[in-house]
A = this chain, B = another copy of it.
């Protein structure tokens, strides 16, 4: 719901109002329209750049060997692409100063209607990388972030869920609730499919993120440790007799 004037401002991650709601008192604010949609192979160049920005942000750029070609081959395999949401999936976050068209009815057949939101900002966002992140769909639409997720399985529930592997919002668009909007999109898809869980990983020093996750009911496990076998050690173990 749009906040009426006398109410205190909502925290940043709630500073969104439902689509088609006309704010009563926001004459000087700048609208920013946001959309989350399932990525296609045409989005690979933007996904590639976003992944490298994420790796730089995490100071792991030296570990990032993803190329446009390797991303296209593994995220959008041909000639037998998996059905949506049965394998690896990317949701793309786009923003625009102009409203997005309402979802076309046929888009529902993939069980994935785009998620739309409208923000009203005090300042227009300044994006120095606007040109290189200009969306494939044209107009003034800019790619602002992504989330990559895939099915996981909960043995005790005997139910699938989703694991969020990466979530990233470009710097000019942070602190507007877009991270929450991307989690909501994955959670919404999980609920739609009758899945039992959405899971992700946070670094233990990221206290703000952990507090936010706990506020929305997330359980953060303190006693579980992730183990990874990669590279030559994987080759040795995989060929053990």
Binding site for B on A (CB under 8 A): 18, 51, 54-55, 60, 63-67, 70-71, 74-75, 82, 86-88, 148, 150-161, 163, 165-166, 180, 183-184, 187-192, 196-205, 210, 213, 216-230, 232-241
Contacts and interface: CB of A to CB of B under 8 A. Distances in A.
Given A66-B157, A198-B237, 20 more contacts: A51-B155, A51-B156, A55-B156, A65-B158, A66-B155, A71-B158, A74-B159, A148-B153, A153-B165, A184-B238, A184-B240, A187-B237, A191-B238, A203-B223, A204-B225, A205-B223, A213-B227, A216-B229, A217-B233, A224-B225
A191 B235 contact: yes
Contacts of A71: 158
A234 B165 contact: no
Of all A-B residue pairs in the complex, the 5 with the closest CB atoms, nearest first, are: A217-B233, A191-B238, A66-B158, A187-B238, A70-B158
A74 B70 CA distance: 30
Contacts of A188: 238-240
B221 A233 contact: no
A218 to B, nearest CB: 5
Given A65-B156, A163-B152, A238-B191, A228 B198 contact: yes
A155 B165 contact: yes
Contacts of A236: 216-217
Nearest to A157: B65
Give the oligomeric copy count: 2
22 contacts: A65-B157, A65-B158, A70-B158, A86-B86, A88-B153, A88-B160, A155-B165, A161-B230, A187-B234, A191-B234, A196-B234, A197-B234, A198-B230, A198-B237, A199-B227, A202-B225, A204-B223, A210-B227, A216-B229, A217-B237, A221-B228, A226-B226
A225 B238 contact: no
A80 to B, nearest CB: 9
